[in-house]
Amino acid sequence: MRATFPHMGNLHISLKAMLQHLGVEVVTPPSCSKKTLNLGVKYGPEFACLPMKLNLGNFLEAYEMGADTVIMAGGCGPCRFGYYAQIEHAILKDIGCNMELIVLEPPSRYIFELTGKIKQITGNKPLWQVIQAICYGYQKARALDEVEIAAFKSRPREMAAGLTDAACRKALKLIDRAISWREIVEARKIAGKTMAGIPVDKDRAVLKVGIVGEIYTLLEPFTNLNLETRLGYLGVEVDRSIYLSEWVNDHLFMGLIKGLRSRKEASIAAHPYLRHFVGGHGQETIGNAINYARAGYDGIIQVFPFTCMPEIVAETILPVVSADFGIPVMTLIVDEHTGEAGVMTRLEAFVDLLARKKEMKEAL
Amino acid sequence: MPLKIGIPRALLYYYYYPMWKVYFRELGAEVVLSSFSTKGLLDKGLKCAVDEVCLPVKIAYGHVLDLLDKVDMIFMPRLVSVEKHEYICPKFLGFPDMVRCLDKLPPLIDVNINLYRKKWDAHNAVTKVGRLISGNYINIYTAYLRARKIQKIYFRLLHLGLTPDDALAILEDRVKKRPAQEAKEFTVALIGHPYNIYDRHISMNMIGRLSRMGAAVVTAERLPEKTVRSYAARLPKKLFWTLGQRMIGAAFHYLERPDICGIVHVAAFGCGPDSMTGELIERYARAAGMPFLNLTLDEHTGEAGIMTRLEAFLDMVRWRNMAAVGM
Ligand code: SF4
Ligand code: SF4
């Protein structure tokens, strides 16, 4: 078996560690690119949401590299994601890509099915090894998030443009290479030091923007046109409402690990405005926007793929939140037609607005 | 003065209105419906809704706005789930909260209807609504029983092939004598969300026009739940959208019926469930060699374009039929 999986930001580093620890041969698809997207657009349903098209592109590219099995997560609604895998499979079959598909459905209802699938992937590895692999993957996810968070802070303050990006690349490579527990812990430490060592101007005044929205477009920089990096260069410190490890904790560990931000907090904050979950991360978008406003952020950017249903619900409600808390909100909707120039202009205008608003506040 | 409860003529009005109406009437409230969908009503909705929402939700906004000064409360349950382990759509989950952002809104009755875990949970929601109007539990319960009875009759009428409008007319005793329907050349299946195909403005009266063009029309609502579900069960994984399930099941059923000559699928632009179920239906239709037409509607859709495509489709079906009998 040569297994592949869809990309979502740095997820591949984590997943590869897990699968390789279980002795599975892994084919990591090339990072999402224009080519990936074009493949997805060509073969995917016209009105499918962007993540699904990119998934499909990933699979096709991995197939060319010799992958024969796709590992995919499932779901039980209400959003489209839970049915991606089945449609993708039908499409792959149609175009003659004979790949096997292993869909990991959430364990709430089909726990035995899940363990069965894991067995199918790992070929009967003992349970402790599976658990160990998950811990490895999780540890890496944490390390990756720490690097990103450090980068968000240092990018707007770096002494020379590009220092943060270089450090980031180095740190990620280090984490990716670690294969034993000791190495991962060590890599996490060195990565932390590398990031802390970036020369920065500590006193530089920066704007703070919280980024909320649909998880895939938040975590996959290709889809949001490197939003976070661009903002960093515009002198904005960003925070993102969902990190990889938080998602893993909420979805795979049922929130077992405490001390991380969880969905619950966000949904409590959202309650006066959106009183029910709406699938995806719609309720979290509202809740996190409120939390950012309370924490004194200067602005909020919502990102989501065109036609994303939960985020459209949130988009409708965000203006009220924006008015109530006096915090500007920008909505960035992305799809295969999104152009870089247009996004850049809008971002610059938004950052300008925030800067002026801040100046005015400080002048008072 | 009895309490005036407004019901928007939108979304699942097309399924549940008879039940809601009888329930509120029995409890002594007056039910006020919004007007029929029109261009003007849609325009009102467009002003308040964000661009990205689908057409049926935009028109639902229009219906809510239409009720603003006419009623004391608006009934807008949060339809989370009407079947075990299924949902309707994320937008249904959020709709009451989306509407609450509007100005000058009368109080909303936005109880959660959530049968995701067990069917009995409907009962609690119904009682909760009843308590807003009446303090008498026995009244509430009998009203509920009557409402359910009417609902059963209504669904039976739909299964007989009546449109929601006609079925309602029978229930409300306002049927006029109509000329007998002449026999049609052939039958096509019209598959789409009920609030799209039965809303005459959204669908541009597609059912009526197809019929005038010589085609008899069957829809998913024509089939009993059991049939729909058994056909939908052919999918590799159960769909978690109740309406999607109905559309898929019906499409699969009609694909096998020799008397059905074509399938017209009506989708709302930007609709999440439709993008998936539409894709599935198209695949199966193609495999079965069934003529298939997909129409995607939004507020910019031109009527002329749709009609031309419908006509062309019917012509194609006609030719196929003639070729089949060897003419
Ligand atoms: S949350 Fe948005 S992007 Fe994800 S499956 Fe749902 S509609 Fe698609
Ligand atoms: S099911 Fe489709 S048409 Fe209906 S509300 Fe949801 S997105 Fe809109």
- CA distance to A160, A273, B86, B149, per residue, from B223 (Å): 68, 39, 19, 19
Helix (H, G, I), strand (E, B) or coil at B5: strand
Spatial distance between the Cα atoms of B273 and B193, rounded to a whole number of angstroms = 10
Residue B245 shares a structural domain with residue B97? no
The verdict on residue B214 lying in a domain is: yes
Given this model, what pLDDT does residue A257 score?
Answer: 65
Residue B37 shares a structural domain with residue B119? yes
Spatial distance between the Cα atoms of B285 and B304, rounded to a whole number of angstroms = 26
Q: Do the domains spanning A2-124 and A205-364 agree at the CATH topology level?
A: yes
pLDDT for B172-204, tens place per residue?
Answer: 888 776 666 677 889 999 999 999 999 999 999
The structural domain count of chain B equals 2
| Portion 229-258 of B in contact with A at CB < 8 A | 235-237, 239-241
Residue B111 shares a structural domain with residue B203? no
For A40, other C-beta atoms within 10 Å of its C-beta total: 26
The verdict on residue B289 lying in a domain is: yes
Query: What are the residues whose beta carbons fall under 8 Å from the beta carbon of A233, sequence distance 6 or more?
Result: A155, A156, A161
Given this model, what pLDDT does residue A314 score?
Answer: 96
Architecture of the domain made up of A205-364: 3-Layer(aba) Sandwich (3.40)
pLDDT for B3-29, tens place per residue?
Answer: 999 999 999 999 999 999 999 999 999
Given this model, what pLDDT does residue A298 score?
Answer: 96
Indicate the domain borders of chain A: 2-124, 126-202, 205-364
- State the nearest Cα–Cα gap between A47 and chain B, in angstroms: 5
Judging by DSSP bridges, how do beta strands B73-75 and B4-7 pair with one another? parallel
pLDDT for A229-279, tens place per residue?
Answer: 999 999 999 999 989 888 777 666 655 666 666 677 888 999 999 999 998
Contact yes or no for A49 and B275 at CB 8 A: yes
- What's the pLDDT band for B122 if we cut at 50, 70, 90? confident
Q: Would you call A326 an interface residue with chain B, using a CB distance cutoff of 8 Å?
A: no
The verdict on residue B181 lying in a domain is: no
Given this model, what pLDDT does residue A327 score?
Answer: 96
The verdict on residue B179 lying in a domain is: no
pLDDT for B245-299, tens place per residue?
Answer: 999 999 999 999 999 999 999 999 989 999 999 999 999 999 999 999 999 999 9
Given this model, what pLDDT does residue A240 score?
Answer: 94
The verdict on residue B162 lying in a domain is: yes
Q: Give mean pLDDT, residues B62-78.
A: 94
Chain B residues closer than 8 Å to A106 by CB: none
- CA distance to B99, B101, B292, B320, per residue, from B209 (Å): 33, 37, 18, 21
Query: Residue of the nearest CA to atom 3 in ligand 2?
Result: B271
- CA distance to A49, A87, A90, B247, B283, per residue, from A45 (Å): 9, 9, 11, 18, 11
Torsion of CA A75, A80, A86, A87, to 10 degrees: -170
Q: Half-sphere exposure (CA, 13 Å, Cβ side) for B274?
A: 22
Given this model, what pLDDT does residue B84 score?
Answer: 86
Spatial distance between the Cα atoms of B307 and A297, rounded to a whole number of angstroms = 52
Residue B16 shares a structural domain with residue B159? yes
Query: Residue of the nearest CA to atom 6 in ligand 1?
Result: A79
Spatial distance between the Cα atoms of B232 and A108, rounded to a whole number of angstroms = 23
First to last CA, chain B: 68
Position A110 pLDDT exceeds 60: no
Residue B32 shares a structural domain with residue B85? yes
Task: Select from 1.10.10, 3.30.390, 3.40.50, 3.90.320 the CATH code of A2-124.
Answer: 3.40.50
Residue B206 shares a structural domain with residue B139? no
Query: What are the residues whose beta carbons fall under 8 Å from the beta carbon of A136, sequence distance 6 or more?
Result: A17, A18, A21, A181, A184
Spatial distance between the Cα atoms of A35 and A40, rounded to a whole number of angstroms = 9
Given this model, what pLDDT does residue A127 score?
Answer: 82
Residue B163 shares a structural domain with residue B274? no
Q: Would you call A227 an interface residue with chain B, using a CB distance cutoff of 8 Å?
A: no
Spatial distance between the Cα atoms of B55 and B48, rounded to a whole number of angstroms = 13
- Chain A: residue nearest B278 by CA? A45
Q: Give mean pLDDT, residues A276-289.
A: 92
Range of the domain at B201: 186-324
Spatial distance between the Cα atoms of A95 and A73, rounded to a whole number of angstroms = 22
Given this model, what pLDDT does residue A120 score?
Answer: 82
- Chain A: residue nearest B48 by CA? A316
Spatial distance between the Cα atoms of A186 and A174, rounded to a whole number of angstroms = 9
First to last CA, chain A: 65
Q: Which of B171, B196, B219 is the last residue of a domain?
A: B171
- Ligand 1 geometric centre to CA of A280 (Å): 6
- What's the pLDDT band for B90 if we cut at 50, 70, 90? very high
Given B89, B236, B278, which is nearest A78 (Cβ)? B89
Spatial distance between the Cα atoms of A355 and A208, rounded to a whole number of angstroms = 10
Q: Is the ipTM of this complex over 0.90?
A: yes
- Ligand 2 geometric centre to CA of B55 (Å): 8
Residue B167 shares a structural domain with residue B201? no
Spatial distance between the Cα atoms of A109 and A73, rounded to a whole number of angstroms = 14
